[in-house]
Amino acid sequence: MSVTTQVSDQAVVGGPALPQERRLVTALPGPRSVELAARQRAAVPGGVSTTMPVFAAAAGGGVVVDVDGNSLIDLGSGIAVTTVGNSAPLVAQAVGDQAAAFTHTCFMITPYEGYVEVAERLNALTPGDHDKRTALFNSGAEAVENAVKIARSYTGRTAVVAFDHAYHGRTNLTMALTAKNQPYKSGFGPFASEVYRVPTSYPFRDGLSGPEAARRAIDQIEKQVGVENLAAVIIEPIQGEGGFIVPAEGFLPAIVDWARENGVVFVADEVQSGIARTGTWYASEHEGIVPDLVTTAKGVAGGLPLSAVTGRAEIMDAAHAGGLGGTYGGNPVACAAALATLDTIVADGLLERATAVGEQLTARLGALAERDARVGEVRGRGAMIAVELVDPATGEPDAALAKAVAGAAHAEGVIVLTCGTYGNVLRLLPPLSIADELLAEGLDVLERALGATR
Ligand SMILES: *Cc1c(COP(=O)(O)O)cnc(C)c1O
């Protein structure tokens, strides 16, 4: 027996042509979503959980339309992935064309131009004008794993340093690099060895200047790890899952300089912050840093799975032939989607758009912070903005409030995500295809949700 959804027997057209409105025709979740959720519970393990039990039927612009016909405002982009919008026209066209031509040969067997072209484009777009190479993979975690392999191969050293509040993925090595126990690591060990964690820069909570925070981290690395053992330091220029933490000015440049002086490979994990999200191609640009290796994923292919490691030619070329790759890495359909995504960013002026969205978000949320002492900080860059919620009396993180506010916004048809080591951060990552009015309406709902929650 199967449950028929409203749309199962007709072609669903998403993309920017969808009516750009918040429209609730049922309570959320609606009856079709409830039926599908029951099937999910019977077929999919509980470990794969969902933020909202609302099943998608179509999406585009700034909305997700569910199987009951509700139209939700999307402030999450499927975790910073649909930066160019869902089913963006150039992406949908390129995917269809490539799928009709060929879907897979394996780049390691018979290569194809799309892969090479994505590599050329990322070599040009990542910070620095040195000679670069790019290898393609499927997920952010896989890119991070390969960055570590490459750094070890180049340096002949084994240790890797990651930072407090870091998130790098869910595979064994990337769980080891990730800071937070629940839900990412608990019960899944033992983890990969030779991973060391040091303090980061979290200005709202540590009050340190960038250089002071860098000195603290470097001291700990030198004393506890030893540069002679250290292959790489890996850091998100703006931490994502950790709470959209923007390090104090000067922190990243100091770590980069120190790494370079000591023959340590500096890896910028730009899986979440890269590809126009913060108003630049890469968040590293805001501080003028040039990483040795950069990981890219989420926003790069308009929703198709693709990731990359881009870096200095001499580092990237250190691994032996056959040492890097994977069956699906740089799949031709995903590469076609990536090229169309990069074209869309340029054609639609999405770097500027990310900056404008950021201004709209920070103006509204900044005003909210003035009125409501529970808003401890509004931070981020471009269209990657977060609100850290606290107990006004103590400054302690208020995770229950973040959860309640997100839940209330969900019930009103706004998709908003939480994050943060303490779970007390609301994060806003709207697709850059969202219209100003719709974004404003989403913020209205969020503001009302906060006002109504005590
Ligand atoms: C999401 C994320 C990853 C992991 O990417 P997956 O595609 O989920 O494996 C790694 N690093 C950062 C910074 C991320 O935000």
211 belongs to a structural domain: yes
Task: Compute the distance from residue 270 Cα to the ligand 1 centre, in Å.
Answer: 9
Task: Compute the distance from residue 305 Cα to the ligand 1 centre, in Å.
Answer: 12
Residue with CA nearest ligand 1 atom 8: 140
pTM of the predicted model as reported, rounded to 2 decimal places: 0.96
Task: Compute the distance from residue 273 Cα to the ligand 1 centre, in Å.
Answer: 10
Share of the chain above pLDDT 90, in %: 97
Measured from the Cα of 169, ligand 1's closest atom is 4
Final residue belonging to a domain, choices 347, 367, 394: 347
At residue 335, the pLDDT reads: 99
Residue with CA nearest ligand 1 atom 10: 168
* pLDDT (tens digit per residue) in 303-354: 999 999 999 999 999 999 999 999 999 999 999 999 999 999 999 999 999 9
Q: Are 297 and 140 in contact (CB under 8 A)?
A: yes
Asked whether residue 143 falls in the same domain as residue 247, the answer is yes
Task: Compute the distance from residue 271 Cα to the ligand 1 centre, in Å.
Answer: 6
Asked whether residue 294 falls in the same domain as residue 328, the answer is yes
* pLDDT (tens digit per residue) in 222-243: 999 999 999 999 999 999 999 9
Residue with CA nearest ligand 1 atom 15: 272
135 belongs to a structural domain: yes
Asked whether residue 222 falls in the same domain as residue 360, the answer is no
Asked whether residue 171 falls in the same domain as residue 187, the answer is yes
Top mutation candidate among 185, 239, 272 for ligand 1, by most atoms within 8 Å of CB: 272
**CATH code of 400's domain:** 3.90.1150.10
Asked whether residue 289 falls in the same domain as residue 419, the answer is no
Instruction: Calculate the average pLDDT of the chain.
Output: 96
At residue 349, the pLDDT reads: 98
Per-residue pLDDT, averaged over 351-368, amounts to 98
Task: Compute the distance from residue 165 Cα to the ligand 1 centre, in Å.
Answer: 13
Asked whether residue 377 falls in the same domain as residue 315, the answer is no
Asked whether residue 386 falls in the same domain as residue 413, the answer is yes
Asked whether residue 20 falls in the same domain as residue 121, the answer is no
Residue with CA nearest ligand 1 atom 6: 140
Task: Compute the distance from residue 196 Cα to the ligand 1 centre, in Å.
Answer: 19
163 belongs to a structural domain: yes
Asked whether residue 276 falls in the same domain as residue 150, the answer is yes
* Domain containing residue 139: 89-347
Measured from the Cα of 241, ligand 1's closest atom is 15
**CATH code of 216's domain:** 3.40.640.10
84 belongs to a structural domain: no
Does a cis peptide bond (omega within 30 degrees of 0) precede residue 291?
no
43 belongs to a structural domain: yes
- Judged against a pLDDT cut of 50, whether residue 1 lies above it is answered with no
Pocket of ligand 1 from Cβ distances under 6 Å: 139-141, 144, 167-169, 236, 240, 269, 271-272, 297-298
64 belongs to a structural domain: yes
Task: Compute the distance from residue 333 Cα to the ligand 1 centre, in Å.
Answer: 21
Asked whether residue 153 falls in the same domain as residue 205, the answer is yes
Asked whether residue 19 falls in the same domain as residue 118, the answer is no
- Judged against a pLDDT cut of 60, whether residue 6 lies above it is answered with no
Say which amino acid occupies 383: A
Does a cis peptide bond (omega within 30 degrees of 0) precede residue 89?
no
- Judged against a pLDDT cut of 70, whether residue 400 lies above it is answered with yes
Q: Are 292 and 311 in contact (CB under 8 A)?
A: yes
* pLDDT (tens digit per residue) in 32-75: 999 999 999 999 999 999 999 999 999 999 999 999 999 999 99
Final residue belonging to a domain, choices 347, 364, 386: 347
Question: What confidence tier does 5 reach under pLDDT thresholds 50, 70, 90?
Answer: very low
26 belongs to a structural domain: yes
- Judged against a pLDDT cut of 90, whether residue 172 lies above it is answered with yes
Question: What confidence tier does 10 reach under pLDDT thresholds 50, 70, 90?
Answer: low
> How far is 448 from 430, CA to CA, in rounded Å?
19
At residue 11, the pLDDT reads: 64
At residue 8, the pLDDT reads: 47
Share of the chain above pLDDT 70, in %: 98
Task: Compute the distance from residue 174 Cα to the ligand 1 centre, in Å.
Answer: 9
Final residue belonging to a domain, choices 296, 321, 347: 347
How many domains would you assign to the chain? 2
Asked whether residue 270 falls in the same domain as residue 166, the answer is yes
Q: Are 316 and 150 in contact (CB under 8 A)?
A: yes
Measured from the Cα of 138, ligand 1's closest atom is 7
81 belongs to a structural domain: no
